Amino acid sequence: MSTEFALNIFEFGDIAGNGEWLVGHYRQHLRYNAAILASPAKALISVWPILIVQAGQVGRRDWLNSHESWHEAVRPFANVTSIDLSVVNLDDENQFYSWMDLHNQEHQAIDQAFGVG
């Protein structure tokens, strides 16, 4: 399985790039679910609403929490551990780039575990 998800493809404040990233990122999470379902575990993983982020802090908080829940569901099947990806202020440029780097590292490990990279 190949991927169309490009890690860290947008810069802080790039709204259009963020939109493109969200689509590829969501589709990559769907690939993880498919890989887990096709594995000997044959587990069905929930699909969380991470395709779009509603405007404002509430929308972003909901996205971060949903995204973390999806990672928590996938990690055991990939034998990956990580930080809580919901604990970040994405309006702070330094935190944004640190989060993207840690998030990318986790996705790389999951990609490798499932052979979807």
Condensed to tens digits (0 to 9), the pLDDT of residues 15-64 reads: 888 888 898 899 999 999 999 999 999 999 999 999 887 765 668 889 99
Nearest to 27 by CA among 69, 59, 70, 89: 70
What pLDDT was estimated at residue 1? Answer: 43
Exposure on the CB side of residue 5, measured as CA atoms within 13 A? 24
Confidence check: pLDDT of 83 > 50: yes
Interatomic CA distance for residues 62 and 59, integer angstroms: 5
DSSP secondary structure letter of residue 92: S
Question: How confident is the model at residue 3, as a pLDDT?
Answer: 52
The pLDDT of residue 21 is 87
**Alpha carbons 85 and 107: distance in angstroms, whole number:** 12
For residue 2, name the pLDDT band (cuts at 50, 70, 90).
Answer: very low
Tokens of 88: 């970040």
The pLDDT assigned to 30 comes to 96
Taking residues 105-116, report their average pLDDT: 93
Average pLDDT over residues 83-107: 94
Token pair listed for 117: 């990279």
* Domain range annotation of the chain: 15-114
Q: Is the pTM of this model over 0.85?
A: yes
